[in-house]
Chain A
Amino acid sequence: MNHHPGFDYIAISAYAVIGILVVAFVLLAFRDVGRLRTGIFRAWAIGRTTIAEAWNARIWAIVPIWFVICLIISLLVRPYSAASQVEIYLTILLRAQLVMLLVYLGILACVSLPRERERRTLITTGSKPISRLELLLGKVIGICAAGLAMLVLMTAITWGFMVVINMHIKHDAAVLYEHEQHSYNAMVRRIPPEPGVRYTARHGVLQAQNYYTGTLRIAGLINYQTNPPERALKGGSSETLYFEFPSLPAQVVSPPVFLLHFTVLRLNPGAKPNTSAQQTAAVLPPVRIHITAVLRDNPMVTAQQSLTLSPNGTAEWRPKHWTNFFSLYDPTTGRLFDPGPVLLKVTSPTLGAYLFFGAGTKAQPPACLAFNLDRSRAPAGVMIPKLNPVITGFKSNNKQEIVGPSYSHPGIPAEVASFEFHHLPDKRIPIGKHGNFTVHLFLSVDKQENEALPAIADITAFTLADPAHPFRMQVRFAEKHLTVLKLPKSLLDESALVINIQSNYPGHWIKLTQNSVQIVRPPSSFIVNLAKSEFIIFCEVVLLVVIGVTASARLGWPVAMLTTMVCYVLGNLFHFVYKLMILGGFGLYGPYIDSKMKGLWYYQIGSFITAVMVKMLYALVRLMPDFTRFDPLHDIIISRNLPWIVPVVDAGWTLACALPILALGYLLLRKQELA
């Protein structure tokens, strides 16, 4: 059988199984579903009794237990700053809720039906006019309602706890600010107090800020001598350079050689003002690059290599497992199967190295070429990547650094982090009394030199409509505190707003992320934000309860519990197992095996078994709901408002996953003898 490389037949089969379940449910349960109009009350009666059972099993005990545990932990944990205090406390409080509810309600879900079977109360209940669907739903509803009650209680306590913490933080910040202001006025202290501290003292930390984030590009170290200006790949960052070779594998049968050529600029982080370029080069380690070749249409096929650039900036890559990598030669037809374009991704882990590359024009040949060495096959010679190299910047939240102005390379402008904001007039950005809007900066500094100087960022803000008249200012910022910036509302026009950040002092490297500059929008209420996070916890718990009740439809409680646990673990492993597949979990040793070994029968058998096992695992994981999507902590711990869409989508997802599971439960229970 020959599949298109991008065709995930396991996933398709899993969806088919789920689809069949739902169809079978619709066909077999339509009468019971039709009765649900009155049946929902009967289900609720079952649910009430299940709640009574849970209550009798002292489910309420988890609230005090949870609280005591959280109290102890939060008393023991002494965070570094107010902001991280909130982060840590909320993490502890919410995670503990999640774990306790998952464990407790999971057990309850697995135990409830089997226990009724053991105690034979199902005989009496089953003689009443109740359908199996109502029974199943009743159990789920009851346990979920018990969970909801617990959750509401815990939310109230969490909120109260956070309010107390907030009062303390505000008080401490006010005292600190006053003290610093006092000593600054009395000339005891050289630096004025942190503005972030005053902000905390005034507003506290229980916030659900709404922000508008722009897109970040680090437009630094551009060589303006060339036309168009040349851009560098930044070492030590997550920037990735892409080359695309359109139809390389179809033509190349023998391994090609990739030649890479960069113009390298090194900056020594610790270099003192008068260090010469030669001295700098002497102490610096060589520049390394990572290369990954990947089939664009089937990202499971990859080859990777880590290389060291020669002093003149070149490297040569002969992929070792070329045949394995591109051997999509179809033995049944005897023809070569074209697997589509090949992407070559280049990153560099070496901090302070900047790799300039050609734009891919005639005048500037691209930095990467591929040579076909096997001259007996056409075409010989050079293959040129189709597109200009594309550089991609940040992934979602990783930190990067922009260097401060350099002593040793005065001709080169320092790196600039450039944040671009679009569609601002639609964003209902609040304007303050003085006609300003607020921008929050989350910056931290890496002081390589000039440790005594305060961290200062040079800010330049302008609109694309009028770049000639920028608004400039210098702001002091503090580690772990947000810095508040007021900008005139004239900057909010139809064109885009650009905010550029540069470091002011040599040796001060500013660390920032995609979200480091955020335009403040009207805040939301903290308690609602907390409720949203709790709701996401609830969704996760509901899904587990549905699995537990379904598992216990036929199984005794110990096996049901085990099944539920396995489902939960598999549901959390989705991305891991998927990666396992992609990164060559198919064979015993993946592709890194020589061809002599491959002919051996025991290798083949072993490889076959591993491949089957991985595929089975993948199929199983595909059948499970993806539990990793539930992230109650995502925004609340950084005082951000969780967009409504997240709990709404999570609720929809929970329902969508619960339906086939409940369908399975119904099918299992439909003909089950109750006595």
Chain B
Amino acid sequence: MVAEFAAIETRDLTKIYPGFWKSQQVQALTNLNLRVRQGEIFGLLGPNGSGKTTAIKLLLGLINATSGEALVMGQQAGDQDTRRRLGYLPEESYLYRFLNARQTMDFYARLFNMNRSQRRQAVDYYLDFVGLDPAVRGRRIGTYSKGQTRRVALAQALLNNPDLVIMDEPTSGLDPVGMLEIKNMILRLKAAGKTVLLSSHQLADVEDVCDRLVILYRGRVELEGALSDLLEVKDVFQLEARKVSAELQAKLVEMTNAGGAEDIQTGRPRVRLEDLFKRLVDAKRRGEPGAGSARR
């Protein structure tokens, strides 16, 4: 898909939160230059307070830039018509506590001028899509658990079948299974040709799904590029196999040494606790007995 414009483009985007005195001012974002192509998954990384949320709010026109400009879908950020094609998952799920999930979705669907049948269809489709337990859909959101709320928030972000989905820390507040589901969902969005901008400080999230990313630190871009380029350690070779006897191991090390390789390391791989947890929950759901040991 060749696009004539980038999904997101910012030029020297700067945001200074005003304070009463100069010392209270916060320079949240300094000269941000981003270019997100259409159809890619773009990661906005950085530690807490590095300006990720600020950048996203600027892109949505929720706050006004101090200087610089931001274009979304070729239009100035905050343009009302552009927002039709946008989905936004806020950092925390800011939803009306007194509405239930269906009413919430219905409300947002109305903001997209959907008619009654469209609304009814979309509401249940996306609540199913994010896997919200049907039993809780009629309850007020104020009574939901964090994960349930998060799912509703995600559903409202996808409600209008957006071309560009902006997700601010999508996995925060979710259990590892939920995280995995989100990651799969993001990949599915990409497969459907959508553009995804996601911010996170949990690097594991980004690592699995992002095509390209920037790393922000104190409002400035520190690193930028394609994930594969950034993470591939070009001068290291890795080999993995089962049933390698101690003999064979010694032999392999010897051969490598003889071949002139340096810094040889050997050992057993470990799975991450996350994977273990996931397998456990999956097995439980399928009704199998627990898969106790680490497997890969």
Residues in chain A within 8 A of chain B (CB atoms): 35, 38, 41-42, 44-45, 48-49, 52-53, 56, 119-131, 671, 673-675
Contacts and interface: CB of A to CB of B under 8 A. Distances in A.
Contact of B111 (A52, A120, A123, A128): A128
Interface string B91-118: 0101111110001000110111100000
A127 B80 CA distance: 9
B267 to A, nearest CB: 47
B80 A35 contact: yes
A127 B83 contact: yes
A556 to B, nearest CB: 16
11 contacts: A44-B110, A48-B107, A119-B97, A123-B94, A124-B88, A126-B60, A129-B83, A129-B111, A129-B112, A130-B111, A673-B63
**Across the A-B interface, the 10 shortest Cβ-Cβ residue pairs:** A45-B110, A56-B98, A127-B88, A128-B111, A120-B94, A129-B83, A675-B62, A673-B63, A129-B84, A124-B94
Contacts of B86: 127
A45 B97 CA distance: 16
Nearest to A42: B111
A289 B39 CA distance: 92
A25 B247 CA distance: 85
A53 B98 CA distance: 7
- Considering residues A35, A41, A123, A131, which has the most beta carbons from chain B within 10 angstroms of its beta carbon? A123
A52 B110 CA distance: 15
Interface in B52-110: 57, 60-64, 80-81, 83-84, 86, 88, 90, 92, 94-99, 103, 107-108, 110
A131 B81 CA distance: 10
Contacts of A130: 80, 83, 111
B196 interface: no
Given A121-B94, A127-B83, A674 B111 contact: no
B110 A41 contact: yes
A53 B96 contact: yes
Given A124-B94, A675-B62, 13 more contacts: A38-B113, A42-B113, A52-B98, A56-B98, A121-B96, A124-B153, A126-B61, A127-B60, A127-B83, A127-B88, A128-B83, A128-B112, A675-B57
A671 B156 CA distance: 25
A396 to B, nearest CB: 49
Contact of A125 (B63, B84, B111): B111
B140 to A, nearest CB: 8
A53 B95 CA distance: 12
A127 B62 contact: yes
A53 B153 CA distance: 19
Contacts of B61: 126
Contacts of B108: 124, 128
B99 A671 contact: no
Contacts of A41: 110, 113
A130 B92 CA distance: 21
B108 to A, nearest CB: 6
Contacts of B111: 42, 45, 125, 128-130
The secondary structure that dominates the A interface is helix
A674 B62 contact: yes
A52 B96 contact: yes
Nearest to A127: B88
Most buried by B among A45, A48, A124, A131: A124
Interface string B28-63: 000000000000000000000000000001001111
B63 A675 contact: yes
Contacts of B83: 127-130
Contacts of A674: 62-63
Contacts of B88: 124, 127
Contacts of A120: 90, 92, 94
B139 to A, nearest CB: 14
B113 A123 contact: no
A128 B94 CA distance: 13
B103 to A, nearest CB: 7
A52 B64 CA distance: 30
B90 A123 contact: yes
Nearest to B142: A56
A124 B80 contact: no
B107 A45 contact: yes
A121 B99 CA distance: 12
Nearest to B17: A673
A120 B90 CA distance: 10
A61 to B, nearest CB: 15
A674 B62 CA distance: 5
Nearest to B91: A123
A125 B62 CA distance: 10
Contacts of A119: 94, 97
Contacts of A38: 113
A126 B107 CA distance: 13
Q: Which of A125, A126, A674 has the most CB of B within 10 A?
A: A126
Contact of B99 (A44, A52, A123, A125): A52
Contacts of A673: 62-64
B82 to A, nearest CB: 8
Contacts of B95: 121, 124
Contacts of A126: 60-62
A124 to B, nearest CB: 5
A558 B90 CA distance: 28
Nearest to B94: A120
Given A123-B94, A124-B153, A131 B63 contact: no
A56 B142 CA distance: 12
A447 to B, nearest CB: 65
Nearest to B103: A52
Contacts of B99: 49, 52
A122 B83 CA distance: 15
B56 to A, nearest CB: 10
Given A124-B95, A130-B80, A671-B64, A42 B90 contact: no
A35 B79 CA distance: 13
Interface in B141-200: 153, 156
Q: Name the residue in A52, A131, A671 with the highest tally of chain B Cβ atoms < 10 Å from its Cβ.
A: A52
A128 B166 CA distance: 12
A181 B96 CA distance: 68
B80 A129 contact: yes
A131 B80 CA distance: 7
A389 to B, nearest CB: 69
Contacts of A45: 107, 110-111
B81 A129 contact: yes
Nearest to A121: B94
Contacts of B97: 119
Given A38-B113, A127-B62, A675-B63, A49 B80 contact: no
Nearest to B92: A120
A45 B109 CA distance: 9
Contacts of B96: 49, 52-53, 121
A54 to B, nearest CB: 10
Contacts of B80: 35, 129-131
A91 to B, nearest CB: 36
A494 B80 CA distance: 66
Contacts of A129: 80-81, 83-84, 111-112
B79 to A, nearest CB: 9
Contacts of A121: 94-96
A105 to B, nearest CB: 18
Contacts of B90: 120, 123-124, 127
Contact of B62 (A56, A123, A131): A123
A674 B95 CA distance: 15
